[in-house]
Amino acid sequence: MRDLKIKTQLKKSYVFKVLLQGEIYEIEGNIFRLKINEAAPLRARYEVPDVLIKEPTTQKLSLSQKEGGVLVLTSVNEDYKLRVTANPFQVELQFKDETVLSMNSNGLLYFEHLQPPPSDRYSLWQEKFGSFLDIKAHGPSSVGMDISLHGFDHLYGIPQHTESLLLKNTSDGDAYRLYNLDIFGHKIHDKIGIYGSVPLLIAHKPDRTVGIFWLNSSETLVDINTKAVPEHISTESAADISKQRAVPLTDVRWMSESGIIDVFLLMGPTAFDIFRQFAQLTGTQALPPLFSLGYHQCRWNYEDEQDVKAVDAGFDEHDIPYDVIWLDIEHTDGKRYFTWDKKKFQNPKRMQELLRKKKRKLVVIVDPHIKADPMYTLYSQGKEKGYFVKDRNGKDFEGICWPGSSYYLDFTNPEVRKWYADQFAFKTYKGSTNILFVWNDMNEPSVFKGAELTMQKDAVHYNNWEHRELHNLYGFYQQMATAEGLIKRSSGKERPFVLTRSFFAGSQKYGAVWTGDNTAEWGYLKISIPMLLTISMAGISFCGADVGGFIGDPEPELLVRWYQAGAYQPFFRGHSNMKSKRREPWLFGEKNTQIIREAIRERYVLLPYLYTLFYRAHTEAEPVMRPLWIEFPEQLETFGVEDEYMLGNALLVYPVTDKEAKAVSVLLPGSKEVWYDFRKFKRMEDQGTLKIPVTLDNIPIFQRGGTVIPLKTAAGKSTEWMTNISYELRVALNTEACAVGELYLDDGHSFQYLHKKQFLYRKFTFHKNILSSSCTDESGQYRTTCVVERVIFLGLGQQPTSVTACSKGNEPTFILLHLVILILLHSYVYTWHI
């Protein structure tokens, strides 16, 4: 029975009986899907398109029992059973006879069916929000259901909120809201939705991780209620038959304004399985061009070409690496995107050529609103072609944004996306070159003077869908079109870089995101860590927070600490508001300049490891930045840790987020793990929570025993200057004196790694005093003249009589020039030349 369809009735107590149709699927890879829709709606209900990369491949569920209104369905591997009760409708998902989760066990399934218009239009069909009137053209159509997680009380995910890593019980407060909004200076510890939404919730306990993906793009609320319930303990003794224990049960109630119920149950059983399952549905992180992993310098706004030139020169003068300078809205001709201010940027191509000679890039802002000006080509063409979102009366929707009166492109229309992508062609976008990349901002969409500063829900999109149905997809679609435009302008050869503020499930396929308009305060530095971890777990590895805080003026210590944190996070950009004082890295005194310089240099030295992590995210859906519990899933003490994190599987990072901190409490997890101070090469003698002294010079970083980290031996002026800088391998041994790690490299900018197998993917293994290098993927054809110049061993314990270095497969790829062996239990260094 490949696609089992179950029909049941939802009886509304006041008038109607409505037949709903439920469909239950098993999808290959340990995923189950439940869809509920009206069997015969008055018109089609909205089903989210374009987020799933393909229609999932279903597997045959077998019917193992049918009696008394109960169906029992068995999965292909027979490990899972779905127990479906018809009246009342419930679904219980069991793994080897143990209930993992259940749906509608609290009877909270609801489905507002579409109805003919009432004679009284002033009914539930319209709603007031302040002075704004929202008319529901097809009536109220909300949907919802409860899903109970058995044995789970640690929940994560559903970004984006300025909240803690662990999701909180909402039974006595506000629900988590998923509704993309432009909230300037958002509050800390608030469950209101901000710029992006990914309706993926992850639940974890020591022996299992599961995920719930609620595929709905309308405004959604998520209520969470965790409680303890008794569980009977079976014993052989008749006298002990009444023994019980308390176990957690978490009820998660999903409520969406419109659409259908379309929920995917990701059954893991590990966190890494969840990430792969979600990527199987929505895609993996796009492999970024290497330059975008360097440091980005941004401000609202760099004033003119001379300002850009001076800032660029400042980095060289102060010997600070950077890759990209950014231009905000003031670079345009009167907020007309795809244009240049004729006085301030008279020769943008020459400006870009000067940057190109420095091997650097430019990013410009391109927002979705279009200035109402008949002489502006984008406006006149969009108007003529009917490419703008409409209001409920069929006229082009008009809102106020940066240019004043503005109209909003309907990116849900494939024809509009194609036309928009064509605007990035070099012949169309005058003054652009192939070192120009793009920043999509204000794409929630932001509408000044609108209800909640966004588009009215009764605005109308392509195929007559109301905005309420797809609100959370608007930014997703703009980033999609922008990325496609950058790919098209290079005839499909070059990887794009697109940063977006608004996002949805699947946005990882198109580029990077950031946390939005944060504030230059210590609390925002602290909350950025759980925010980025949550976004990372939702499939979007390429994420970051504005270093220094966008709003206000950071004190020097805060700015230093933010640079130190940002250097070890996926997207690394300094940014500030036009009302903020200038804050280029060299403006805070020589001592602070020196510390910031060192933090940025550490980032550049780390790039081989970071780029390898991004390749793993691209191919295996592994988050680049991850909470401790993902690497240590059985250790309860890691489940709520949000002030430190793992960068890949090898580095533990503890940003200092308190003012004038003299020491921090760092958890080094794992009783059998070995940890090393990453800078001092010192083995940590203890595990558990340690008090680590800190100075302003740096933050605590630890390398995990059993890992090999590839580094560059020096930092360059930008990533492109570093192509031929030699490599260092940092080999940290575990208790068995073994270590393993990887290095991925390609040309750093093109799709040749994909189309022509132009990549190199090496595995380094140290075992029994033999360091070996082998091919992780034999299909790779990339050649490099770069060498491994140095290998540093951490934890050998005594001077070795010999160490053998060997290499296998796809040679010559690396030449080992010499090994520097650091013996941690002794005070000498042993050097061996090959």
Query: Which residue numbers are catalytic?
Result: 441, 444, 517
Distance CA 699, CA 610 (A): 18
Residue with tokens 């595995």: 763
| Strand-pair partners of 11 | 17
Contacts for 819 with CB less than 8 Å, ≥ 6 apart = 771, 790, 791, 793, 803, 805, 831, 832, 834
First to last CA, the chain: 64
Structural contact between residues 23 and 3, judged by C-beta atoms closer than 8 angstroms: yes
C-alpha separations of 462 from 25, 176, 394 in Å = 30, 29, 12
Distance CA 193, CA 176 (A): 7
Distance CA 566, CA 547 (A): 6
**Alpha-helix runs per DSSP H in 407-555:** 414-422, 467-470, 474-489, 522-537
| Strand-pair partners of 762 | 743, 775
Distance CA 798, CA 207 (A): 38
Distance CA 277, CA 738 (A): 31
Contacts for 51 with CB less than 8 Å, ≥ 6 apart = 215, 217, 282, 473, 476, 504, 505, 506
SS3 state of residue 244: strand
Sign of the C-alpha dihedral, residues 47, 50, 51, 52? positive
Count of residues in the chain: 834
Q: Which helix (H) or strand (E) holds 352?
A: helix 348-357
Give the pair of three-digit tokens for residue 751: 């799709």
Contacts for 524 with CB less than 8 Å, ≥ 6 apart = 188, 518, 545, 549
SS3 state of residue 415: helix
Distance CA 252, CA 157 (A): 13
Determine the angle formed by the axes of helices 305-317 and 348-357, rounding to 10 degrees: 10
Ramachandran angles phi, psi of 177, nearest 5°: -110, 135
* DSSP designation for 283: -
Q: Residue 381: what residue type?
A: Q
Structural contact between residues 772 and 832, judged by C-beta atoms closer than 8 angstroms: no
Q: Does residue 445 have a cis bond before it (omega within 30 degrees)? A: yes
Structural contact between residues 113 and 104, judged by C-beta atoms closer than 8 angstroms: no
Determine the angle formed by the axes of helices 414-422 and 474-489, rounding to 10 degrees: 40
Q: What is the DSSP string of 26-74?
A: EETTTEEEEEEEESS-SSPPP---SSSSSPPPEEPPEEEEEETTEEEEE
* DSSP designation for 448: B
Torsion angle of alpha carbons 196, 565, 495, 213, nearest 10°?
-30
